Amino acid sequence: MMPCLCCQEDLYVFLVHTGNLWTTVGGEVQHGCHLDRSFADTWRREWDEEVLKYPWAQVVEGGDVAQIVVWRTTSSNWQDLRNCKTGRSGINATSWCFAAADRGFFDRTVGKDVSLVREGELVWPTDSADKKRRVHTEGLPFVETEEGAWFQLKGASFFTHKEVQVRGDVGDLLEGPEKLRRVQEIIRSFSGAPGPDTTRWFLAEITQDGRKDKLPGFERKLQGMEPQEACRHLTAQLLKEIPYPEEIEACLKRDADPRGHEEMLEGTSVLHAFLQRQHEQEYAVARIVHLLLRAYHKRNIPVSAAEKESIARWREGNDPDCKALWEANMELANVMRPAV
């Protein structure tokens, strides 16, 4: 759910900081007696659970709300990864709530970090298990999110008072002319009286987190990269973390050398260096290795004995869901002649 406001044609939404990203307040519908009777009940309950300092009744003006429903792939109303429908006839969906923000709340909080934690005894994520039980035994509030901020929408881009990253599925909501137009129309209907705005706005990066189809986003991010630059990017990502496989795929589509950039490696390939590290996300590792081996095959690059040995070790991993992919990787490595 997003409190929104339109001031002199400028469109604003309020997001909260969760983990390393900025996103909306949200959660699951609670079914049962005396629980959520509608999406509106869910919006109010989730907001009041997460934003302890500013209750829904203080933030939202007059109960004026609108929603956009995006059907998930398990829904009978699903069409493609970017569909956006109204109505309630699906069986599995995300309901995005837009609510007219109180102008006083906007004026007090725009252009800065907004603390969302109220005074009093609270339960924090770092507290002991005994204290966390008091959420259930005594009804103490649990701190889910600590700060929020206003973001200005310009087209499909988010701007705020500092450099931040916005979760990808929030960006998906504005992707495509039809969805963008609908969101803009909703927020413009929540017009507020004009007022001075002295905020310096920064463009927020929209990440791929939360997106179902991540490849198009990475392709846009790397658009225009020369092969050498794409190779540097691929190498840097694989040496420091487990990137999304779609990011590696986008680099390879920019004709990056799958062996990595020589100046960034110590006499080995990026594939071999990547497999020497310990990674928890085994399926992502297996997918990345498969992408690199396919690029080896396309370029007729031989697989070294050290690379084969590393792939064989990973094939003995504990995740049964990865077994078939590691077998395919080993088979692909074996069909290419070994490096001399």
Task: Please state at what angle helix 305-315 crosses helix 282-299, rounded to 10 degrees.
Answer: 150
Are 171 and 13 within 8 A, CB to CB? no
pLDDT in tens, 246-277: 899 999 999 999 999 888 888 889 999 999 88
In a domain, 200, yes or no: yes
Number of H helices, E strands in the chain: 14, 10
**Considering the domain boundaries, does residue 82 fall inside one?**
yes
Tell whether 340 is covered by a domain: no
Assess whether 224 and 300 both reside in one domain. yes
Give the pLDDT of residue 41.
84
Look at residue 15 and tell me if it is in a domain.
yes
Q: What's the CA gap between 203 and 25, in Å, rounded?
A: 21
Range of the domain at 114: 2-206
Q: Domain check: are 245 and 279 in the same one? A: yes
293 pLDDT exceeds 90?
yes
- Residue 269: how many CB atoms within 10 A of its CB? 24
- Please give the Cα distance from 61 to 187 (Å, whole number): 13
Name the domain boundary from 145, 175, 206. 206
Identity (one letter) of the amino acid at 98? F
pLDDT band with cut points at 50, 70 and 90 for residue 68: confident
Task: Classify strands 157-160 and 147-154 as parallel, antiparallel or unpaired.
Answer: antiparallel
If asked whether residues 82 and 181 sit together in one domain, one would say yes
Tell me the pLDDT of the chain averaged across its residues: 82
Q: Which of 83-92, 230-239, 308-317 has the highest mean pLDDT?
A: 230-239
- First and final C-alpha spacing in the chain: 59
10 Å Cβ neighbour count for 302? Answer: 13
115 and 226 belong to one structural domain: no
Distance of CA 230 to the CA centre of its chain: 23
Which long-range contacts does 126-133 make (Cβ < 8 Å, 24+ apart)? Answer: none
State how far the Cα of 207 lies from the Cα of 257, in Å rounded to an integer: 25
Could you say which of 161, 189, 206 is where a domain stops? 206
Shared-domain flag, residues 181 and 262: no
- Are 281 and 293 contacting, i.e. CB atoms less than 8 angstroms apart? no
Domain boundary among 151, 186, 206: 206
More confident residue, 312 or 214: 312
Q: What are phi and psi of 181, to 5 degrees?
A: -65, -40
53 and 85 fall within a common domain: yes
Task: Let me know if residue 43 belongs to a domain.
Answer: yes
Cα dihedral 225, 227, 232, 238, rounded to 10, equals 100
Residues 197 and 232 placed together within one structural domain of the fold: no
Structural domain includes residue 132: yes
Same domain, 43 and 134: yes
Report yes or no on whether pTM surpasses 0.75.
Answer: no
Considering its fold, how many domains does the chain have in total? 2
Residue 9 lies in a domain: yes
Does 56 share its domain with 133?
Answer: yes
Give the pLDDT confidence score for residue 182 in this predicted structure: 83
Looking at the fold, whether 161 and 282 belong to one and the same domain comes out as no
Do 284 and 153 fall into the same domain? Answer: no
Q: Distance between CA atoms of 30 and 27, rounded to whole angstroms?
A: 9
Answer whether residue 252 is part of any domain: yes
Q: Does 113 or 262 have the greater pLDDT score?
A: 113
> Same domain for 177 and 282?
no
* pLDDT single digits (tens) 187-224: 888 765 444 444 455 555 556 556 666 788 788 888 88
